[in-house]
């Protein structure tokens, strides 16, 4: 009885050591894979990549990635192109061990995509290496990539921002609340096709045109028929939000933004929190409400020749929230 009681603590000790070792190996494994992806992905995609966390569950057969960010390719501002707070990939471990990437299910939760046009008139989506190489592949120069296939892709996306830097020094910014939810696409074979589909689905509800992307999609048989913005939102000319900033601060930052965009302030009613202006050739009205406790609500409307311009209103709201978040007092 005494001998077994002495052996038990030793057994428990070894069991604890084994458990800690396995946990450490799992953490090291995830860190090594994460570092490898962040190093090799830019070589394939043609733009910097980083992520908050990476975990591969050998028992669950799932990969979970958080805070994934893809940045602009060379020739564009060093800013984020795609923000993806979370992605989950169900992986075939057997095929992975053989060097083939087979994912029965992939769920991508994208917060926003920022399409940028530089001073030369080129779009960042056309300048991604993986898109350019896909076009070259049609001319007998195929990319050397590992086997990559997805059985089912579920796509979610909040908004698309379009920044036109060809109007420097004042950028022209539009925003589209595309609100794509559980868009299901099947049988994706190849990483280039996945990247292309992600961009195409994001741009479809907008008025953004991409010649390079159109060429790439034609080669891969992906339908790319973007809608006209006016056809998407004919009757709605507004964009609104609840803000964690005082109404006074939002009001002052709104005035500063209009001036920086070379807009013309036509009328102000500070006590009512209203601003009327001309920005990007559109008639703009801004209404700010005080919600107390340092919070406020804002409503921006935009029209041009009596036509609703919700993308302009959303673009102004996007720029305003970026200013407010960068300059938190």
pLDDT digits (tens, 9 = 90+) for 291-323: 999 999 999 999 988 788 888 888 899 889 888
**How high is the pLDDT of residue 139?**
55
pTM of the model: 0.73
Cα distances (angstroms) measured from residue 148 to each of 5, 16, 44, 133, 161: 54, 39, 13, 16, 29
Per-residue pLDDT reduced to its tens digit, 157-177 = 999 999 988 876 777 888 988
Q: 97-113 pLDDT, tens per residue? A: 777 788 999 999 999 99
Which of the listed CATH numbers 3.30.310.220, 3.40.718.10, 3.30.70.1150, 3.30.70.60 matches domain 233-326? 3.30.310.220
Whole-Å CA distances, 260 to 168, 183, 221, 251, 264: 12, 38, 43, 15, 10
Domain ranges of the chain: 14-231, 233-326
């Amino acid at each position: 009885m005494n001998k077994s009681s002495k052996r038990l603590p030793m057994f428990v000790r070894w069991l604890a050591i084994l458990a800690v070792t396995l946990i450490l190996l799992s953490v090291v494994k995830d860190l090594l894979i994460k570092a490898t992806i962040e190093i090799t992905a830019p070589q394939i995609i043609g733009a910097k990549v980083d992520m908050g966390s990476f975990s591969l569950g050998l028992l669950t057969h799932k990969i979970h990635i958080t805070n994934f960010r893809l940045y602009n390719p060379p020739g564009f501002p060093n800013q984020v192109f795609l923000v993806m707070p979370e992605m989950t990939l169900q992986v075939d471990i057997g095929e992975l061990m053989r060097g083939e990437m087979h994912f029965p299910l992939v769920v991508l939760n994208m917060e926003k995509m920022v399409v940028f046009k530089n001073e030369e008139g080129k779009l960042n989506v056309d300048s991604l290496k993986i898109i350019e190489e896909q076009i070259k592949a049609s001319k007998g120069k195929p990319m050397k990539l590992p086997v990559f296939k997805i059985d089912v892709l579920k796509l979610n996306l909040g908004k698309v921002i379009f920044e036109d830097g060809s109007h420097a020094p004042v950028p022209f910014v539009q925003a589209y609340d595309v609100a794509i939810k559980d868009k299901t696409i099947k049988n994706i074979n190849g990483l280039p096709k996945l990247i292309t589909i992600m961009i195409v689905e994001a741009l479809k509800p907008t008025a953004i045109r991409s010649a390079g992307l159109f060429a790439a999609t034609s080669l891969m048989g992906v339908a790319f028929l973007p809608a006209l913005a006016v056809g998407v939102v004919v009757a709605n000319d507004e964009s609104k939000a609840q803000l964690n900033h005082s109404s006074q601060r939002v009001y002052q930052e709104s005035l500063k933004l209009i001036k920086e965009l070379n807009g013309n302030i036509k009328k102000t009613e500070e006590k009512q929190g209203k601003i009327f202006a001309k920005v990007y050739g559109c008639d703009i009205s801004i209404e700010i409400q005080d919600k107390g406790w340092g919070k406020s609500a804002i409503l921006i409307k935009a029209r041009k020749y009596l036509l609703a311009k919700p993308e302009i209103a959303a673009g102004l709201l996007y720029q305003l929230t970026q200013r407010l978040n960068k300059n938190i007092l």
